[in-house]
Structure 1
Amino acid sequence: MQMNAIIWPDGYTPGFTDNFCSNEVIVAGLSAAEVWPQLSVPARWPAYYANSANIRFHDGKGPVLENGVRFYFETFGFPVESQCTEYVAPTSGQPGRVAWHGWTGEGDSRLDVIHAWLVEDLDGKRVRILTQESQKGKPAVELHNTKPNPMINGHQDWLDGLVAASRKVKQA
């Protein structure tokens, strides 16, 4: 079985940006359809990912992400304005995909990121959740040079929390 990959917009191809992180889990007993509601509704994030807060949508949109929708949240100490650049809910045989362009700061403190997620069913009643982030700007260089990389650790917490929240909903 061939696994799917993140689709990167121009200017954010990993290896050509200032920082990149990739985290992935494959777990048994969950499906993409069971995970998707915990990811696609940002208001649910703080319940399972402590590094997200103060989520709000712009222009009367929400609570579910969709292509083009603007939203705001705080993470890693940054106030992040965001716009959803890809949104495809999972269906039978097709992975779920969601990505957003996030930005914060100005001038030398400007940080631009594409944060993308892929949620796909695998054989044996398993689900694969891949999250990757490609970053540009001086803060991204600083994050890249910090060891351990706080983005890798933070996104692993997000993945672990997403799986735990999805299992909890499934058992309810």
Structure 2
Amino acid sequence: MTVQNAINWPERYLPGTGDNFVSNEVIVKGLTAAQVWHYLVDTSTWESYYDNVADISFPQGDGPELKDGVGFSFGTFGFPPLAAGVVELQEPAEGVPGRLSWTAQQDGPPQERLHVLHAWLVEDLPGGRVRILTQETQIGQPAAELAQQTPNPMLNGHQAWLDGLVRAASGHSG
């Protein structure tokens, strides 16, 4: 029997308690968590494999690699750049899944406020496989509006991110 790990959720962002939640997962043979990890934590690679992210910056001069506690900002889903901060980062190792999560927010009038937690789990599985799970909880009116669309743009956007991440880690472009 193989046991798969789960995302660590802060209470505020517990799935099903916000205004929008999506979960995307792929399991791929022939890749390792370490190969995937580089393309996930090095933000300078994001735009090469995911077209729904732009304007990545590190206001405190950190980056482009994400580290625990680092603040950054980025634009996505048509929102102005969101202020983000890494809240969990654990590099994958033998028997230990890679974990990355950040919070991001957009302030302003109530109809524009958005708070999210975007989490990633990357783990090696038996048989030369890697599992990549990404989940996000969003709170705020813009999130509720996304959740009402069919299909949910965040679900499709995150699937495109996963697919691009796998292509990049596999050494394939486009």
Please give the TM-score of this superposition, normalised by the length of structure 1: 0.96
Which among 71, 85, 88 is matched to residue 86 of structure 1? 88
Q: Please state how far the C-alpha of 1:58 moved relative to its aligned partner.
A: 2.1
For 1:37-116, what aligned pairs fall within 5 Å after superposition? 37-78=38-79, 79-106=81-108, 107-116=110-119
Runs of 4+ that moved beyond 3 A: none
1:1-172 alignment, distance < 5 Å: 1-78=2-79, 79-106=81-108, 107-168=110-171
- 3-state SS of paired residue (1:117): strand
CA deviation after TM superposition for structure 1 residue 83, in Å: 0.4
Identity over aligned residues, as a percent? 54
The number of residue pairs the alignment matches comes to 170
Residue 149 (structure 1) shift: 0.2
Structure 1 spans left out of the alignment, 5+ residues: none
1:149 and 1:17 map into 2 onto residues whose CA distance is 15
Gaps of 5+ in 2: none
28-37 or 96-105, larger mean C-alpha shift: 96-105
RMSD of aligned Cα (Å): 1.2
Contact 1:58 1:69 in 2 (8 A): no
Tell me which amino acid in the other structure corresponds to 1:153: N
CA drift of 1:131 comes to 0.3
TM norm structure 2: 0.95
Deviation at 1:60, TM superposition (A): 1.8
Which one is further off, 80-89 or 105-114? 105-114
Query: Could you say what secondary structure the match of 1:34 adopts?
Result: helix
